[in-house]
Structure 1
């Protein structure tokens, strides 16, 4: 039985922090694989700054040298109505029926589930397992204990709470702003992605899609 982490994000663009986070999770949680799952531009809760095509290409470039990392375009291929975390995890559990699947997320998303902002929230928590990364200012244990959805669907193994032990909060937003303002964010993202962005003049215009 393999242990697989599903790491969903906009990756707009993918950064060195994304890679470091995935590597840290794989090491500390004994994961055999981490699946990078770019969010689709069809999602109503997110606004992408460049096309799915470019973000997908950069994810593949960023992870190509790590055998534990896999890129999957499942959400990019789905109709908008089917793009929910519940549906996505159902798909991966059916794809890997003999393996243990974990959804990787930040503590801020744990707060959103607790607030009832996610569809099928109760079933999502009851039927799945999560690796939750600490975020500044969020008490993860307190968030779980104060939420009926979280605490009543937690069997003791539902949430693996993980503090990275190092604050690395360089964001995709910061990198996009640097490109837009003719800055130099080269060492904040993989070289392959940096040169890809330069080649296609991505993020040069904040209104570019």
Structure 2
């Protein structure tokens, strides 16, 4: 099997998250996409609701798609021990006979190439990545300008995807709309929209 690990805050999960996962799965012939909400304990994340609410919304959003699965591995880790390298090692052990891919945006590829991630060398050496285009980022240039990335570019490590459509509706936009009593209804799954209204999240 080919499995994509899709980590994000999902605060809240949006239709763009679902569309991105679907596009990546179709283009890369993935058999499964695992939605991996990050931990609220992480110092580099400023989250706007609880792990419980984010977890509930992700599960609601994906419940009708057999290709999608949610996993709370990172939510359960201590903040000091959450690293992508360790997370991917966990899933490689969980699925020893399958191909594991980390799904990320080109902006994160830049950061890894610059050595900003924990154990960047081991992370790139031991894993495979599906990298989605971001506006104004030349992914091939990012790889060629980073000794770390280009020396591990064996034709299999990085699968570069131009989604072909700029959908930049963000979770922060949706949060702002809820906070200002706007109407973001069709930017996220209907079940999540109703859940946010019911629990008065992002007020």
SS of equivalent residue, structure 1 residue 105 = strand
Contact 1:134–1:161 (8 Å) recurs in 2: yes
Q: Return the offset for 1:154.
A: 2.0
Aligned to 2:192: 193
Aligned to 1:70: 69
Q: Return the offset for 1:153.
A: 1.9
Structure 1: runs of 5+ lacking an equivalent: 205-209
Aligned to 2:82: 83
Q: Return the offset for 1:44.
A: 1.4
Contact 1:75–1:88 (8 Å) recurs in 2: yes
CA separation in 1, counterparts of 2:185 and 2:6? 23
CA distances 1:137-183 after superposition (whole Å, capped 9, x unpaired) = 00000000000111112222100000000110000000000000000
SS of equivalent residue, structure 1 residue 103 = strand
Q: 1:159-170 residue pairs with structure 2 within 5 A?
A: 159-170=158-169
Deviating 4+ runs (over 4 angstroms): none
Contact 1:43–1:83 (8 Å) recurs in 2: yes
Structure 2: runs of 5+ lacking an equivalent: none
CA distances 1:111-155 after superposition (whole Å, capped 9, x unpaired) = 111121100001100100000000000000000000011111222
CA separation in 1, counterparts of 2:201 and 2:79? 25
| TM-score, structure 2 normalization | 0.99
1:53 equivalenced with 2:59 (yes/no):
no
Contact 1:59–1:71 (8 Å) recurs in 2: yes
SS of equivalent residue, structure 2 residue 40 = coil
CA separation in 2, counterparts of 1:43 and 1:114? 22
